[in-house]
Chain A
Amino acid sequence: MGKTIAEINEKIKKGKAVVVTAEEIIDLVKTKGTKKASQEVDVVTTGTFSPMCSSGAYFNIKQPIPRMKIGGGRAYFNNVPVYTGFAAADVLLGANALPDDDPRNAVYPGQFLYGGAHVLEALVGGKRIVYTAFAYGTDCYPLKKREESLALKDFNDAVLFNPRNGYQNYNVAVNLSDKIIYTYMGVLRPRSGNANYCSAGQLSPLLNDPLYRTIGIGTRLFLGGGVGYDCWPGTQQNPAVPRGKNKVPRGAAGTLGVIGDLKSMSSQWLRGVSFTGYGTTLAVGLGVPIPILDEEMVVFTSVRDEDIWTRVVDYSHDYPQGTGKVLGEVNYGALKSGKIHFLNKDIPTGGLSSYLKAREVAETLKKWILKGKFYLTDPVAPLPSS
């Protein structure tokens, strides 16, 4: 007999819900088996904390006197350009945006010390930013220049809006060339000197619901320390990646488009980061609660690192040239051991996704649910699954 989300929410309301993290369910299944675990457990919480480049926020700026039309003009937050294509007072700031005078890779590799993501972290952390704007002026919006110090609370609206987050699995990157390279997968030493991976593995949201049975549009989730929602399939959502017998994709597959109130978030869970030679990006804390509707959901959520496989790709030639070549497969158990035996040698591994913080996200979400502060939602529309 299955459970519904409505039934689970009733139990949460009564303080009777049984909630465990995606790690705890693994041990529970070992001792009690999947059937008993599915009867006992109501929610499994997942978590991840990782650089997620396709992130940003949109803001509505309070009108000055006289009024000003930003749309079609130019505007900056701490010298980082914001997009001004929306109306008179709505601007969009992307995590990867850089000040006009940032040297980028002119002296290679660039440091990218400050960008949109750093502005977001500063705002969420309570700091003030300098807002400068230039407009062409209209009869109804005559002001042409403005410079003002603003804090997050000074905006009418501040909405975190991330078109692609929470990647379901990802590549492992190596560098087969003779020169060190600087990529979004980190610094890669020559002759496969290191292998970098980017996933929370067994704690990762979409790896715990591989066929998107319970996660969809409208799913309420932990986002940046506050409550957010999945608002659309993430960009590049690709469910058609080959999957193992356990239905877990063996390469980068699904993604989530997420949204939430920036004013409710915390700089502990939204960090501006600088990838040498690559650019700036936002590290995001994200966690999704998975309702245990039936035994199949327990099977899915008790997936272990050793059961999740991914592809090793060369980032010196194959990735940039889009050859599609895969050097082989490894699993996350091996990756997290610190060393993989691959290409006839032992290659030390490095992570880009913080497992420590992923645990903290899953634990935090678990606490919220147990305290009756967080209820699950039924998706209003599914993520594409084929």
Chain B
Amino acid sequence: MAKKKVILTFPPALIEEPVTYNLIKNYDCKINILKATVRPKEKGRLVIELNGSKEAVSRGLNYLKEIGIQVEPLAQEVRYLKDRCAHCTACIPHCPTDALSLDREEMKVSFHGERCIICEACLPVCAYKAMEIQF
């Protein structure tokens, strides 16, 4: 089984292309849409996680490249700057996946990158700028 997070950048001509439908129907990939930005006639950007057999994921990625979509691996995600964090806990109610979690005995915040879905909800919330996004 393979799991891959990628950033897809759509040229204006391809914004209407139903890629998630095709990936699921024709390439047997489970798709998790992490983030979508579509400005009609301008640009489209999708951050998705493809889940499936190694072959299915590989063929799915090739399909995307072949039709002209720019595919970049999601290498680094959201960074938690431990030294800047003041453990105020303002971020906790905003994180949908408990990637930012709180030990309520110690009242200490910690970040679990593997749970992060790069929804970016924490970025404007952290007043100490301890959360940073890197693509």
Contact = CB atoms under 8 A, between A and B. Distances in A.
B103 to A, nearest CB: 9
Contacts of B90: 186-187, 196, 350-352
A128 interface: no
B19 to A, nearest CB: 29
Interface in B98-121: 102, 104, 106-108
Contacts of A274: 127, 129
A189 B91 CA distance: 12
A283 B86 contact: yes
B88 interface: yes
Chain B interface residue number, banded: 10 to 19
Contacts of A193: 93
A359 B104 CA distance: 13
Interface in A258-285: 271, 273-277, 281, 283
B124 A182 contact: yes
B87 interface: yes
A276 B125 contact: yes
Contacts of A186: 90, 125, 127
A320 B90 CA distance: 21
A353 B128 CA distance: 12
A357 B87 contact: yes
B106 A348 contact: no
A353 B90 CA distance: 9
Contact of A338 (B86, B104, B125): B104
Interface in B28-75: none
A331 interface: no
Nearest to A194: B93
B94 A113 contact: no
Contact of B88 (A111, A348, A353): A353
Name the prevailing secondary structure of the B interface residues.
Answer: loop
A336 interface: yes
A348 B108 contact: no
A50 B108 CA distance: 15
A222 B86 CA distance: 18
A194 B124 contact: no
B124 A354 contact: no
A337 B104 contact: yes
Q: Which of B89, B91, B102 has the most CB of A within 10 A?
A: B89
B92 A348 contact: yes
Interface residues of A, number: 36
Nearest to B121: A187
Interface in A1-58: 49-51
Contacts of A336: 104, 107
Contacts of A111: 124
A165 to B, nearest CB: 16
A194 B127 CA distance: 17
A189 B124 contact: no
Counting chain B CB atoms within 10 Å of each CB, which of A111, A187, A336, A353 scores highest?
Answer: A187
A161 interface: no
Contacts of A337: 104
Q: Which of A194, A273, A281, A354 has the most CB of B within 10 A?
A: A354
A109 interface: yes
Contacts of A283: 86, 127-128
Interface in A345-367: 348-357, 359
A355 B106 CA distance: 9
Contacts of B129: 113, 274
A350 B124 contact: no
Given A189-B94, A338-B104, A356-B107, A49 B89 contact: no
A51 B127 contact: yes
Contact of A356 (B92, B106, B128): B106
Interface in A93-115: 109, 111, 113
Nearest to B102: A338
Interface string A187-215: 10100011110000000000000000000
Contacts of A276: 124-125, 127
Contact of B91 (A50, A271, A350): A350
A111 B85 CA distance: 18
12 contacts: A51-B127, A109-B124, A111-B124, A187-B90, A187-B124, A189-B94, A338-B104, A351-B90, A352-B127, A353-B88, A354-B107, A359-B107
Interface of B: 86-94, 102, 104, 106-108, 124-125, 127-129
